[in-house]
Copies of this chain bind each other. A is one copy, B any other.
Amino acid sequence: MNFDFSDELLQLRDQARRFLTDRCPPAVPRRILDTDEPYAADLWRDIAEMGWTGAAIPEEYGGVGLGRLAICVLAEELGRAVAPVPFSSSVYLATEAILQFGSEQQKQTWLPKLAAGDVIGTFALAERPGSFDPAKLTASVSNGRLTGMKLAVPDGDIADIAIVATRSGLHLVDLNGAGVTREPVATFDPTRSHARISFSAAPVDTLPNADIRRLLDYAAVPMAFEQLGLSQAALDMANAYAKERYAFGRPIGSFQGIKHKIADMYIQVELARSNAYYGAWAVHTDAAELPVAACVARIAACEAGWFVTKENIQTHGGMGFTWQMDCHLYYRRAKLLSLALGGAREWKHRLISELRARNTLLEAA
């Protein structure tokens, strides 16, 4: 058994961590938070140059062909750095959709540009509050033209293309083209921009044989790693603070009220890490268990992200809810990522449907 990343990928992880420690300290997401700048375009260019945006794209389409495990490794580091870049939208979603469901021509047209980071992609799904149900989507395509509205599309204001979900499948739309109106929307995490997008007879290029749920499953795994990195960073922050901050003549981490809380945070992070690894194995091997693995990776990541980032604030006491401390960067982003792709509630519902459809898996529990 080797239930860990290969030495090459662990090296990639260390490289990514060093790079982001240097180029994406908390000041970078803070800059996006405090200004009108929608994302860190400079960081994005650097990331693309290092080949991260093309990590999972085969070399024949301009990528570096490292496979999806590399994306998981990078996602964890981007999460840790609270990086204000459209990596999840462009890589886990738009690129993945074209890789999995695109025609040869679509791949040749778009993958090299996505790999190079010259084109930013996103995924437009939600139309209303509540859970996702493909049968209830109202955006529709007729005669190659899309009409409808999509709410709170992540990176929707900066993306060049969107993969848009309708009841008939997935469609590639040029967001700078005709029939597209975008309106930025405020969210509780301004370090990642969002837009409402209206389509009025916008021309589309439909992806053949698309499967929205499958796309969500594939995206949920790197997203879980991004959530994991974020959670680990918040845990590390709480742990460091508990050692250096004194109250009543001793470090606050020597009080079991704080000490056991941090142990609980660690437990949540470890369980989320183990489930994320299971997800990585499943996307890597294209396993039949992927839907189940994606669900558990997602559920554990959402649970850990919320608990750890809110208790990191609590550990910091009054300072924790000031703008000046970084606690809130993790807290905002953790909740944002736990709602992107649908909340844990929705994935729990899905998990049980999947388990009931495959009785044997249960034996392995």
Contact = CB atoms under 8 A, between A and B. Distances in A.
A170 to B, nearest CB: 38
A255 interface: yes
A75 to B, nearest CB: 35
A256 interface: yes
Contacts of A257: 256, 260
- Determine the interface band of chain A, counting residues with CB < 8 A from chain B: under 10
Interface string A246-266: 000000000111001000000
Instruction: Label chain A's interface by main secondary structure.
Output: helix
A255 B255 CA distance: 8
Contacts of A255: 256
A257 to B, nearest CB: 4
A186 to B, nearest CB: 30
A278 B287 CA distance: 54
Interface in A256-281: 256-257, 260
A301 B255 CA distance: 31
A260 B255 CA distance: 11
Contacts of A256: 255-257, 260
A187 B256 CA distance: 38
A256 B255 CA distance: 7
Contacts of A260: 256-257
Interface in A40-67: none
A255 B260 CA distance: 11
Interface in A208-262: 255-257, 260
A256 B250 CA distance: 15
A277 to B, nearest CB: 30
A266 to B, nearest CB: 15
5 contacts: A255-B256, A256-B256, A256-B257, A256-B260, A257-B260
